[in-house]
Amino acid sequence: MQTVMVPSFLKVAAVSAVGIGGTAGTVYLGGKAVNFSEIQDESDELIDTFKDKFEGRLVTAKASDKKWQTRFTKLTSDEAKNLQGLPEVSKAEELQKWCQDASIAAFDKSKEKVFEDYCVLINEEQASKKLIQKGKDWKDANERLSKAKDSDISDELKKVRDKVKTDLEKSKELENWCTSKYSSPFKGKKDQEFIYLGTYCTEIKKPAASKAPQAAEPKKN
């Protein structure tokens, strides 16, 4: 957590100059929650918000976007499991508003999992190539992974690769691994797991077969 010195006169200037929301001694400047407490010293804290922690990974789509409906559907399923801390909303639009409000709140480790589950992008939404879906043909992907060197993959994928090698045609090991990661929270384009998805779980377009030249028609006399 970063601590900065904020002279009292600057507090007043900041509040009057910026459109700010906040209560109980905390206001929001941009994406930061600033705690203007009643302590009479010059050391107020610039607090990290959820938006700071998940920078570049938040779902910023409009409330009508299908991304929110997908998350709301997941929420209704999770509610049946009686999980703690779930958003109390009755439709996708309310979930979008909940995430929007939560993003500028001071980061709270105890609420991180819930926020990440419903307000953050997932791997499938950020993939630049077409991911192979469950039940499709995985033979080419299996062959790709079977050729991977130990130095190029994680210990987890090494185990998958070794099982795939036993039956490139029918093995489900890679299919199960890939599809289980599609809905995982997106950690960034440099995240190793995300890179593996793009390398071993995507369709590769095969070059179109060239047409054989047609024989010339005989000349008519």
pLDDT digits (tens, 9 = 90+) for 193-216: 999 999 999 998 776 655 656 666
Instruction: Count the Cβ atoms, other than its own, within 10 Å of residue 139.
Output: 11
In this model, does residue 41 exceed pLDDT 70? no
Q: Work out the pLDDT band at 82, boundaries 50, 70, 90.
A: confident
Q: Considering its fold, how many domains does the chain have in total?
A: 3
pLDDT score recorded for residue 218? 61
| Residue 124: inside a domain | no
What's the confidence (pLDDT) of residue 205? 77
**Containing domain of residue 159, as a range?**
139-200
Whole-number pLDDT of residue 28: 47
Higher-pLDDT residue of 109 and 209 is 109
What was the pLDDT predicted at 79? 83
For range 105-122, the mean pLDDT: 96
Query: Nearest Cα to 156, choosing from 192, 128, 116, 186?
Result: 192
Mean pLDDT of 80-99: 90
Residue 36 lies inside a defined structural domain of this protein: yes
105 domain residue, yes or no: no
Same domain, 37 and 75: no
Q: 13 is written with which tokens?
A: 């200037």
More confident position, 210 or 123 = 123
Of 75, 59, 49, the residue nearest 122 (C-alpha): 59
Is pLDDT at 34 greater than 80 in this prediction? no
Both tokens of 94, joined, read 């309310």
| pLDDT of res. 204 | 83
Q: Please report the pLDDT score of residue 214 as a whole number.
A: 66
Average pLDDT over residues 19-42: 46
Residue 177 lies in a domain: yes
58 in any annotated domain: no
Q: What is the pLDDT of residues 178-194, one digit of tens each?
A: 999 999 999 999 999 99
Whether residue 84 sits in one domain with residue 40: no
pTM for this model (two decimals): 0.73
Confidence label for 162 from pLDDT (cuts 50, 70 and 90): very high
**What per-residue confidence (pLDDT) applies to 45?**
66
> Would you say residue 205 lies in a domain?
no
- ∠ CA 193-87-29, nearest 5°, is 80
Taking the C-alpha atoms of residue 90 and residue 76, their distance in angstroms, rounded to an integer, is 9
**Residue 176 forms part of a structural domain:** yes
Is residue 92 one of the residues assigned to a domain? yes
Instruction: Show the tokens assigned to 58.
Output: 């938040």
The sheet with strand 45-47 has its strands ordered as 26-29, 32-35, 45-47
Summarize the confidence of residues 109-119 as an average pLDDT. Answer: 96
One domain for residues 43 and 70: no
| Among the listed residues 38, 39, 50, 35, the one whose alpha carbon sits nearest the alpha carbon of residue 3 | 35
Do residues 177 and 145 both lie within one domain?
yes
Can you tell me whether residue 4 is helix, strand or coil? coil
Q: Which pLDDT score is estimated for 17?
A: 39
Statement to judge: residues 114 and 75 lie in one domain: yes
Q: Give just the sign of the alpha carbon dihedral 116, 122, 125, 129.
A: positive
Say yes or no: 115 and 157 in one domain: no
> Encoding tokens for residue 86?
């779930």
Clarify whether residues 41 and 89 are in a common domain.
no
